[in-house]
Structure formats: structure tokens, C-alpha cells
């Protein structure tokens, strides 16, 4: 993976600073413009063609009761995406962004649809409280699916990738992966997900603790000391790993991508374990309502674009942030400079 070039850094910053505005007055928009121009390595970046990829899969441990919704909601919601009725579908349509759903591990077979990629690695993961969630082959295949899907849309001329997910129980799986990587106890990483009450959160945390203890015993390693492939096989989720693979390929192709909420940020954390420079290409959409998300964003030193208390997933926060990213590029390209406008600068 090629690190982002710093050859144009001073010119990019000079272009931002000499626009007809007080220095720094566009706040986070200036940081966005700077990041996109650096990634594209140009003083005239483009942000005209985005693509939303939503990865879907099921999780064996859902049967233990770690979600407020039953597992059959996963294929039902995939059908809703394809019919255009989900939030991410509505917002993508509003902003003229193509949406593609990738079945990487839904527990049932989905009927063919023009917006659906049939890339099933397995019929969901195994129950990670009892044994490893995935095989190493399944992990590698899921990573490859994400990479392939990015390559496909980039070949069509995409400036920006956005990722979403669907999988009942995947907030819990993400919390478990976060604990495994960071060494934090499940109580610190477990949130309400799709709306659990206090008792439900406690039950969810207990399930994740059981999974982490089982895996630590199997690996003979405490959490926080597992290798990436051990995290993925022991407690990973297919759609989360597919997003990680998609992020890695986006960065390899030097394309910026938008990180949605908590689950997507955990996918980035996993990708970072494999290639640190992947973070340079990440634009953080929003801070979600999950208790561990703010702390995780701080670990990335991230300044998310939005804070709307979203906790939906699907890539909904990513698509909501898209017009703001476009505005950052628009001001960078089209806003007059003090010199071109004949306006006196501050002294």
C-alpha cells in the first residue's frame, strides 16, 4: 500500500488559506478538502461519483439472545434494501448514489436481483460462545469479496467509496472484535445495538464475555494479544471482514472511503491491524450512540462529520455525510481567492 504523498501539502494548505474567508473559518470542511486533495494528489480534486456497498451476513450467537431482533430480519431487511424502502436506499436515491448489496453470509439464499451480488462465503458464522466463528479460509474469502467489489466499482470510475452493513447481532460481534483487539472487557465495549434495555445489554455483555473467555482459553492468550487472523476466526463476522477487505482495497487503489458508524469503525480497526496506512484514506461520517464508539474514534484521532445520535447502521451515516464531503471539495475548487476576487486580506 502506497503512503499518501506529501509533495503538494503546502500548496493544498495555501489554496485553502487564501480563499475569501477568515483563516480556518470553514472548520472541518477545510480538513476534509485537505484530506481529499492529498489522497487524489491534486489541486483540483473531484467528488462526482460515489458508490455505496452494503455487506450482509448472519451470526450464529444471535440464537443466544444478544439482539432485540430475530435473525430472520437480516434477509427481510436485505429485501427492503433491494426494494428501495430502507433508510440507506432512500438517502442513496436522494443523492443519486448507486447502491449495491453484497450477500456475503446471509443464513438463507436470497433471490437474484440486479442490485444484489451473490457472494455467499457461508450461511452465517458459527456460535462463537461454543467454538470459533469462522475458518481461516472463510476469513480470507470474505476479505477477498470486499476487495473484489471495490475493484469492480472503481473500474467504473468511482471517486468515493461508502460502506454499510446488515446483519442482526453484528453490533455485538463488533464489540467482541473490539475487545479482542484492544483488550477492553466486554462490559466496556457492549452497547444497546438496535435498542436493548439495561437487562438486554447485560445479557449481551455476558454472551460476549463467554465468547472471549472461550477463545482466550483455546488460544492460550489474553484478549488484546491475539493476532489479526485469530481475532477474525475466533469472533469475526463475515460482513465486517468484507468491509475490512473493501477498505484495504480502496486504500490500495488510492481512493477515499467513508467510515459509517461503530460497526464500520471496528472493520477499519481490524484493517489497520493488517495495514496501518489504510486509515489515511478514511473519512469518518459520524459518532453513533454506541457507548464504545466515541472512545474508538478518539483512538483514530478522528473528527467525525456528524453527530446525530444515529444507531441504525446500513451506511446511513455515510450517505448523510456525502453532500458535506462534496461541499468541501466544491469550496476548495470554486471559491475565489483574495487575489482573484480583488478582496483585501487580513493584515
Residue 262 falls inside a structural domain: yes
Cell 462463537 sits at which residue?
Answer: 128
Q: Which of 30, 239, 252, 314 is catalytic?
A: 314
Residue 38 falls inside a structural domain: no
Residue 167 falls inside a structural domain: yes
pTM exceeds 0.85, yes or no: yes
- CATH number for 160: 3.40.50.10210
The reported pLDDT for the residue numbered 200 is: 67
Residue 278 falls inside a structural domain: yes
Residue 2 falls inside a structural domain: no
Residue 43 falls inside a structural domain: no
Residue 135 falls inside a structural domain: yes
Q: How many domains does the chain have?
A: 1
Q: Are the C-beta atoms of 129 and 210 separated by less than 8 Å?
A: yes
Q: Are the C-beta atoms of 284 and 304 separated by less than 8 Å?
A: yes
Q: Identify the three-state secondary structure at position 76.
A: helix
Domain that holds residue 147: 50-324
Q: Are the C-beta atoms of 282 and 54 separated by less than 8 Å?
A: no
Catalytic, 314? Answer yes
Beta-bridge partners for 53 = 100, 163
Q: HSE-up of 80 (CA within 13 Å, CB side)?
A: 14
List, in order, residues 6 or more apart from 206 with CB less than 8 Å away.
186
Residue 310 falls inside a structural domain: yes
Tens digits of pLDDT across the chain (347 residues): 888 999 999 999 999 999 999 999 999 999 999 999 999 999 999 999 999 999 999 999 998 888 878 899 999 999 999 999 999 999 999 999 999 999 999 999 999 999 999 999 999 999 999 999 999 999 999 999 999 999 999 999 999 999 999 999 999 999 999 999 999 999 999 878 767 777 768 888 999 999 999 999 999 999 999 999 999 999 999 999 999 999 999 999 999 999 999 999 999 999 999 999 999 999 999 999 888 999 999 999 999 999 999 988 999 999 999 999 999 999 999 999 988 888 878 65
Amino acid at each position: 500500500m502506497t503512503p499518501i504523498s506529501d509533495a503538494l501539502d503546502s500548496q493544498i494548505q495555501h489554496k485553502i488559506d487564501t480563499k475569501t474567508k477568515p483563516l480556518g473559518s470553514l472548520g472541518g470542511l477545510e480538513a476534509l478538502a485537505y484530506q481529499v486533495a492529498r489522497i487524489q494528489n491534486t489541486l483540483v480534486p473531484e467528488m462526482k461519483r460515489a458508490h455505496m456497498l452494503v455487506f450482509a451476513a448472519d451470526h450464529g450467537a444471535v440464537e443466544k439472545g444478544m439482539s432485540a431482533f430475530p435473525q430472520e430480519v437480516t434477509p427481510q431487511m436485505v429485501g427492503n434494501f433491494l426494494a428501495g424502502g430502507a433508510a440507506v436506499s432512500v438517502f442513496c436515491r436522494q443523492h443519486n448514489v448507486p447502491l449495491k448489496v453484497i450477500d456475503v453470509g446471509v443464513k438463507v439464499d436470497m433471490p437474484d436481483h440486479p442490485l444484489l451480488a451473490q457472494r455467499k462465503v457461508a450461511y452465517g458464522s458459527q456460535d462463537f460462545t461454543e467454538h470459533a466463528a469462522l475458518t481461516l479460509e472463510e476469513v480470507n474469502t470474505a476479505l477477498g469479496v470486499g476487495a473484489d467489489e471495490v475493484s469492480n466499482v472503481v473500474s467504473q470510475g468511482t471517486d468515493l467509496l461508502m460502506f454499510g452493513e446488515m446483519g442482526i447481532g453484528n453490533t455485538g460481534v463488533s464489540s467482541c472484535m473490539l475487545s479482542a483487539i484492544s483488550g477492553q472487557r466486554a462490559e466496556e465495549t457492549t452497547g444497546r445495538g438496535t435498542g436493548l434495555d439495561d437487562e438486554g445489554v447485560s445479557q449481551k455483555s455476558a454472551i460476549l464475555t463467554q465468547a472471549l473467555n472461550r477463545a482466550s482459553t483455546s488460544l492460550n492468550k489474553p484478549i488484546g494479544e491475539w493476532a489479526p487472523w485469530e481475532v477474525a476466526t475466533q469472533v469475526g463476522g463475515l460482513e465486517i471482514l468484507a468491509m475490512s477487505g473493501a477498505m484495504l482495497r480502496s486504500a490500495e487503489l488510492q481512493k477515499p472511503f467513508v467510515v459509517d458508524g461503530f460497526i464500520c469503525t471496528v472493520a477499519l480497526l481490524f484493517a489497520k491491524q493488517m495495514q496501518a496506512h489504510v486509515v489515511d484514506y478514511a473519512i469518518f461520517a459520524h459518532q453513533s450512540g454506541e457507548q464504545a464508539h466515541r472512545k474508538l474514534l478518539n483512538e483514530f484521532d478522528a473528527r467525525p462529520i456528524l453527530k446525530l445520535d444515529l444507531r441504525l447502521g446500513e451506511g446511513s451515516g455515510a450517505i448523510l455525510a456525502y453532500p458535506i464531503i462534496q461541499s468541501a471539495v466544491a469550496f476548495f475548487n470554486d471559491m475565489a481567492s483574495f487575489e482573484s476576487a480583488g478582496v483585501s486580506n487580513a493584515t
